A and B are shown apart, each in its own frame.
Chain A
Amino acid sequence: MSAIESVESFRERARVWLADNMPLRTTPYTGTFGGGGTDEEELAEVQKNRDLQRKLFDGGFAGICFPVEYGGLGLTPAHADAFNEEITPYEFPEKIQVPTFAPCASVLLEFGTEEQKREHIPAILKGEEIWMQFLSEPSGGSDVAGAQTTAVRDGDEWVLSGSKIWTTGAWWSDWGLCLARTNWDVPKHRGLTVFILQIHQPGIEVNRIEMLNGSKEFCQEYIDEVRIPDSDRIGAVDDGWTVGTRWMFYEKSYAISPLTTRPAAKSGSAVSGKNSLVERAKTLEKLDNAHVRDLIGESIALESAYRSLSRRVSEGIRGGAMSEHAAALTRVLAADAQIRTTSIEFEISGSSAVAWTEDDVSSETIGNGFLMRQATAIGGGTTEMSRNVISERILGMPRELTHDKNLPFRDVPRGPSSK
């Protein structure tokens, strides 16, 4: 095999290819489906993301850090960083990065069997498979290891029953990575197993959840005696927590993962380097107001702090100076910075953010955005959980007391609502 292409040569090739092949971005980077439009619009957006992924694959730029044998390029994180910098002004399949590439494909790569990787990784890199996390359950959000969805062995098959929740866009996705309980007679962390399953099959009912701002981006699934082959199991039976902890690491560190593509200049400084708050203040003719400027400056400093911290944590984890738990630092600051920016945007907008005229789409977005402000500190594990991780795993402070540690899972106290 020939020597690896240099980062600069790769960057140069990417620059030329992107300019020739990818459309310039016209909307700010969000990385998620806002769920604001009609279903037709959302499906069109999904298709567009699949097509963009296929385009990257055909152009030879998909899966930069994925192994060659699964359709990737087998290059280094430095190549991925260079590509992220080059792709910033362009469109790319930004809305299927999470959770398809991180955590799902990342988990597959680390724990999947050879057959599983050969079947799914190339399909993911071609945009043919979009994955979702079947992780959270209605009975408990942050207590992921308390999963009650159950898999019972039946010969070479498993029979799955239960319910999963907060799967973004499960109604248009293809595959799910699923954490299930395979043993109720041991403490909770020791009776879990991870499976993969097709989302659209008999026995799985996908219901869409309407969020308070009217969006229907999230789903809940009811799983009723769905049979899956044992070859769709990831990791050992009852050892799902080993997979699960890595899974959650990949989820929390998507923004520094070499397996995801993302612009090197993140949100806040949106299209062509314009700051959305500065633009908003200009529109409202308030940019000369000292108080408004102070608030905007606060937001810029916070976004900068988030970017610098991401860089530091990413380098720290890669170089071994920090443990993987350091991703929790970035996770909390990302939420804190975004919450503050959302509040500042809301304050600057005054009454227009709570009562808008029909043609004033940006005020509507800001008003509804403020109502949904906390979502960033909840999704993907609450910031309270991350603060536990920082204090306990990084600073070494005593763990929180739990009442389920050494009890067989079936004897763990449960609230009346989740019996």
Chain B
Amino acid sequence: MELHLTDDQEMLAGTTRKFLEERASVGELRARRHDAAGFTFPDWTQGAELGWTSLLVSEEDGGGSISDRPLADLGLLAFEFGRSAAPGPLVDCNILAMALSRRGTAEQKATYLEPLMAGEQVGSWCYEEPAPNDALGVVTTFARQEGEGFVLSGVKYPVESAAEASMFLVVAQTDAGLTQFLLPRDRTGIELESGGGVDLTRRFSKVVFSDVHVRSDEVLGTLGDADADVHRQLLFATSLEMCSMLGAMQTAFDITVEWSFDRYSFGRPLASYQALKHRFADMKIWLEASHALVDDAIEGLQTDSPKAELQVSAAKAFLSSQGPELAQDCVQMHGGIGVTFEHDLHLFLRRIVLGSQLHGTVSDHRENLVALTAAGEVVA
């Protein structure tokens, strides 16, 4: 994250850090290992008061950020979430809040945005799909026009906190083009398949839409005109997930550096062995480069730079590759204790590995980099 924070940013991040230290302590995270939701509503509602759900919402809608760079501000919170491996659908709720604030009708805002911002309800963005449709940007879910409304069918996966969500923002093809629909989760025809995952507290489901009836006033924005919004939401979501990975990378690295000073072998601290020092040097380089890439990606998005997508993909390709490498090297430095449940390191390994596969893998983003570069975008 950025090297210099304003006092307001320090305050924003610091308040959430303190809150998470208490409510998402490692003991608390371990206790929720088998909890269906992973997070609790009292925590989430109180978190909303700390700004967790309102930074990407316009001031007219009751939101607003502490600077003119709301994504960077929210990135600080996502970083804190990663640093504590904290639970809760931070990315999805903010994507929904932003989409609603930008495109929602007064009625949609009253029904969905208000409880979302208050932290009384959470929502899920149903966008990505399972293999073989899991390449970046592929949407096969289809909403067929029927009378005044639509009939929606398709499968979305992975969808975060789907079981706890009150609302779904669903991306689907229509005869008019790509469209987003906002509907209550308990609509007939929606089935959830839950399972496991690498993260200790973040939960993902497969959501199956089988002939789900959707009203025309449940379109968010303009029918058939969601390409730009969906693209923007994806870039925002990817950046926020990267902030979370980065926070977890920072903690994993810090824990491991500390360990290297405390742990003695053959009468010397691990930190005195050149073979290990050089691996720490590499990890430090990856970590600092990751900070720098994520900052540049966010800055690009914040300023609507034509290079923004390229910067996001460069960052994600690097973090998805070097994030897990860093985490696994941290495990290696710990030796046997590093692969036990008892040690805390795996909490962060989990968060990093989760992020590495969400919103495009290493290969997906490398492919995108080549596509953009070959099409004449300049990497600079």
Contacts and interface: CB of A to CB of B under 8 A. Distances in A.
Contacts of A312: 3, 288, 291-292, 295
Nearest to A273: B378
A305 B293 contact: yes
Interface residues on B, range: 35 or more
Nearest to B374: A278
Contacts of A269: 373, 378-380
Contacts of B289: 305-306, 308-309, 329, 333
A319 interface: yes
B122 interface: no
B3 A319 contact: yes
A63 B315 CA distance: 35
Q: Which of B282, B363, B366, B370 has the most CB of A within 10 A?
A: B370
Contacts of B370: 278, 287, 293, 296-297, 300
A329 B295 CA distance: 17
Nearest to A313: B288
Nearest to A88: B380
Interface string A382-400: 0010111011101101101
A93 to B, nearest CB: 21
A315 B3 contact: yes
A391 B281 contact: yes
Nearest to B269: A398
B interface, by DSSP: helix, strand, loop or mixed?
helix
Contacts of A115: none
A307 interface: yes
A390 B278 CA distance: 8
Given A287-B374, A315-B3, A398-B269, A303 B278 contact: no
Interface in A293-335: 293-294, 296-298, 300-309, 311-313, 315-316, 319, 321-322, 326, 329, 332-333
Given A301-B317, A321-B4, A391-B280, A329 B288 contact: yes
A268 interface: yes
Interface string B319-363: 001000000000000000000000000000000000000000001
Interface size class of A (residues with CB under 8 A): 35 or more
Contacts of A371: none
A265 interface: yes
Contacts of B313: 301
A22 interface: no
Interface string B270-299: 011010011011101100111111011000
Given A300-B369, A308-B296, A395-B257, A390 B374 contact: no
Contact of A293 (B268, B272, B274, B367): B367
Given A300-B314, A322-B3, A398-B271, A309 B292 contact: yes
A308 B295 contact: yes
A275 interface: yes
B161 interface: no
A322 B284 CA distance: 13
B27 interface: no
A392 B260 CA distance: 13
Contacts, number: 155
A297 B293 contact: no
B153 interface: no
Contacts of A333: 285, 289
Contact of B3 (A321, A384, A387, A394): A321
A264 interface: yes
A400 B314 CA distance: 36
B318 A293 contact: no
B152 to A, nearest CB: 33
Given A265-B380, A305-B289, A305-B314, A297 B366 contact: yes
Contacts of B3: 312, 315-316, 319, 321-322
B201 interface: no
Contacts of B376: 273
B379 A304 contact: yes
Contact of B379 (A282, A300, A387): A300
A329 B284 CA distance: 8
A316 B289 CA distance: 13
A402 to B, nearest CB: 12
Contact of A387 (B272, B278, B310, B317): B278
Nearest to A310: B292
A278 B371 CA distance: 10
Contacts of A273: 376-380
B311 interface: yes
B365 interface: yes
Nearest to A312: B292
A264 B380 contact: yes
Contacts of A400: 274
A303 B284 CA distance: 17
19 contacts: A269-B380, A273-B376, A273-B379, A273-B380, A297-B365, A297-B370, A300-B366, A301-B318, A304-B318, A304-B379, A305-B290, A308-B293, A312-B3, A315-B3, A316-B3, A332-B285, A386-B281, A395-B257, A398-B272
6 tightest A-B CB contacts, nearest first: A297-B366, A273-B378, A304-B314, A391-B277, A265-B380, A308-B292
Given A269-B380, A391-B278, 11 more contacts: A287-B374, A293-B367, A297-B366, A300-B314, A305-B292, A305-B314, A308-B293, A312-B3, A313-B292, A319-B3, A387-B278
